[in-house]
Chains A and B, each alone.
Chain A
Amino acid sequence: MALNWFKFASPASFYPIAGRLVPVFWVLTLALLAVGLYWGFFQTADQLGGSNPQKEYYRIIFIHVPTAWMSMWLYMILVGWAAIGLVFNTRLSFMMANAVAPTGAIFTFLALWTGAFWGRPSWGTYWDWDPRLTSELALFFLYIGYIALHSAIDDTRRADRASALLAIVGLIMVPVIFWSINCPDPNQCAALHQRSNLMRIEGNILFSMLIMTLAFWMYSFATTFMRLRSIILTREAESAWVQDILTKEARA
């Protein structure tokens, strides 16, 4: 089947598709959230054993871990679209990167916030200079930097391209930043701790974590596409097809 992918790469043809997909993603988001939260609250053990036994509050894991994953994945997606935009000079991919950024920033913030709430009962403090926490904070700064640079530049094209470049530089720096915080002393860097392994997690907990992650994915699609649609309308305001839509909506 010969599918013309470039057809979908034009804002005009993408706009209606995104419009039809948004409700689907919202329904999926709600359904998966319901399943994930139900499973997380009622089908999992009341406490975690091990050397550091945790009571009911460990359930924040079902929000905390998925949001932290999302924050990183969305940054990769943002950089991916930004890079495609820089290489192929396609406007839609920059709009995509733009639409992803706020959702990513929100997830990063949520991961930090829920982390603080979890940290209080389990570590006895809201904040610790733990490598992961600190790197997540650095990631949050990168998101904010991307959004700030984009909104500081009036010319949309320069804004798109400059912030895309910044995002790419950020992606290169994130591992270095993580590594430098993880082992501030290069003499004894072998002491990596707090390794998590998905295989060792109990089945029910893993299940609800993954369902929640899927729910957040759907949420990201829904919000990104909604934002994308409004970005397309703003930027293509003078083109004929947008004028058509606007007049039709005005009549209805």
Chain B
Amino acid sequence: MLEVQGLECRRGDRRLFSDLSFALDGGTLLHVRGRNGTGKTTLLRSLCGLFTPESGDIRWRGESIRALGDDYRRELLYFGHLNGIKGELTGIENLSIAATLDGDRISEDAIWEALAQIGLRGFEDLPTRMLSQGQKKRVALARLVLSGARLWVLDEPFTALDVDAVALLQRLIAEHVERGGLAVLTTHQEVPLTSGQVERLDLGA
């Protein structure tokens, strides 16, 4: 479903990787590994279309993601180093705006539910700047519960999370993969997946 062919990325004048090719089908988790500075984040951002690769092709369902544009982004969920959460807004507001922009019509009840599921019961109505780092991250992760995206691109999703949250996130990813979704993630931790196919990609090896 997601195909990468002959990808070459540069940062400034430095070549990060070249001639990178792989193909992923539904129900797969791709674990991208590599030392710092090998281009993991750049690869993930290229997959989202945020970064323009020097050369090579990224295709989704057989079509180039550049050509697909908004249609591709509808099926995509990206979770980067920044949470993408507004400190002045409450968790509910943050999530409902994100859902509207993603083009999903999600009821407020569903958002309350999602926040409860992610362990933020009682914090729904507080401006998120009042929350701790880990809690803010949880608000951002609640998007995973709500989103109907087929492709999840997660950059270091496990940092700053406690043991419970790590387990919860693993469960969410596993469920997503079981439903036939795709996930690409980077992490320095070893992430055991309970089910589904796990592929590994080593950068800078």
Chain B residues within 8 Å of A154, by CB: 12
Chain B residues lying within 8 Å of A55, measured Cβ to Cβ, are: none
User: Is the beta-carbon distance between B52 and A235 smaller than 8 angstroms?
Assistant: no
Interface string of B7-31 (1 = CB under 8 A from A): 0001111110000000000000000
Residues of B within 8 A of A234 (CB): 13
Nearest A residue to B15 via CB reads A238
Partner of A155, one of B12, B15, B52, B54: B12
> Hey, which chain A residues are within 8 Å of B10, CB to CB?
157
Shortest 9 CB-CB contacts between residues of A and residues of B: A235-B13, A156-B12, A155-B12, A156-B13, A89-B52, A237-B13, A238-B13, A238-B14, A157-B12
Interface size on B, residues (CB 8 A): 8
Q: Least Cβ distance of A153 to chain B in Å?
A: 10
Number of A-B contacts (CB under 8 A): 16
Residues of B within 8 A of A157 (CB): 10, 12
Contacts of A46 in B (CB 8 A): none
Q: Which residues in chain A, 132-158, are within 8 Å of chain B measured between CB atoms?
A: 154-157
B181 vs chain A, min Cβ distance (A)? 31
Complex contact B11–A155 (CB within 8 A)? yes
Q: Give B42-64 as 1s and 0s: 1 = Cβ < 8 Å from A's Cβ atoms.
A: 00000000001010000000000
**B164: min CB distance to chain A, Å:** 39
User: Which positions in A face B, CB cutoff 8 Å?
Assistant: 89, 154-157, 234-238
Provide the bound-state CA to CA distance between A234 and B14, in Å.
12
- Interface of B with A (CB < 8 Å)? 10-15, 52, 54
Give CA–CA (A241, B54) in the complex, Å.
19
Residue with the highest number of chain A CB atoms closer than 10 Å, among B10, B13, B14, B15: B13
How far, in angstroms, from A154 to B11 measured CA to CA in the complex?
11
- Chain A binding surface SS class: loop
The CA of A234 and the CA of B15, in the complex, are separated in Å by 14
Inter-chain contacts of B11 with A (CB < 8 A):
155
**B80: min CB distance to chain A, Å:** 17
With a cutoff of 8 Å between Cβ atoms, the chain B residues found around residue A235 in the complex are 13
16 contacts across the A-B interface (CB closer than 8 A): A89-B52, A89-B54, A154-B12, A155-B11, A155-B12, A156-B12, A156-B13, A157-B10, A157-B12, A234-B13, A235-B13, A236-B13, A237-B13, A238-B13, A238-B14, A238-B15
Specify the chain A residue showing the minimal Cβ separation from B52.
A89
Beyond the given A155-B12, A238-B13, please list 14 additional residue pairs across the A-B interface where CB-CB is below 8 A: A89-B52, A89-B54, A154-B12, A155-B11, A156-B12, A156-B13, A157-B10, A157-B12, A234-B13, A235-B13, A236-B13, A237-B13, A238-B14, A238-B15
Q: How far is the CA of A52 from the CA of B132 in the complex (A)?
A: 78
Chain A residue at smallest Cβ distance from B51: A157
- Per the bound structure, the CA–CA distance linking A155 and B10 in Å amounts to 10
Given the complex of chains A and B, what is the CA–CA distance between A5 and B14 in angstroms?
26
A12–B52 CA distance with the chains assembled, in angstroms: 22
Bound CA–CA A5/B205 (angstroms):
36
Q: What's the nearest-Cβ distance from chain B to residue A160, in Å? A: 11
Query: Would you give the shortest CB distance from B11 to chain A, in whole angstroms?
Result: 7
Provide the bound-state CA to CA distance between A22 and B201, in Å.
47
Cα–Cα, bound, A89→B12 (Å)? 14
Q: Given the complex of chains A and B, what is the CA–CA distance between A131 and B139 in angstroms? A: 57
Q: With a CB–CB cut-off of 8 A, which chain B residues contact A156?
A: 12-13
A237 and B15 CA atoms in complex are apart in Å by: 11
Q: Which residues of A have CB within 8 Å of B52?
A: 89
A157 to B16, CA, bound (A): 14
A89 — which chain B residues lie within 8 A by C-beta?
52, 54
Which residue of chain A has its CB nearest to the CB of B53?
A89
Residues of B close to A155: CB separation below 8 A: 11-12
CA distance A72 to B194 in the complex (A): 65
Which of chain A's residues have a CB closer than 8 A to the CB of B54?
89
Complex formed: what's the CA distance from A237 to B10 in Å? 14
User: Closest Cβ of chain B: how far from A232's Cβ, in Å?
Assistant: 11
Complex Cα–Cα for A156 and B52 (A): 14
CA distance A234 to B13 in the complex (A): 9
Among the interface residues B12, B52, B54, which one has the most CB atoms of the partner chain A within 10 A? B12
Tell me, in angstroms, the Cα distance from A236 to B12 when the chains sit together: 10
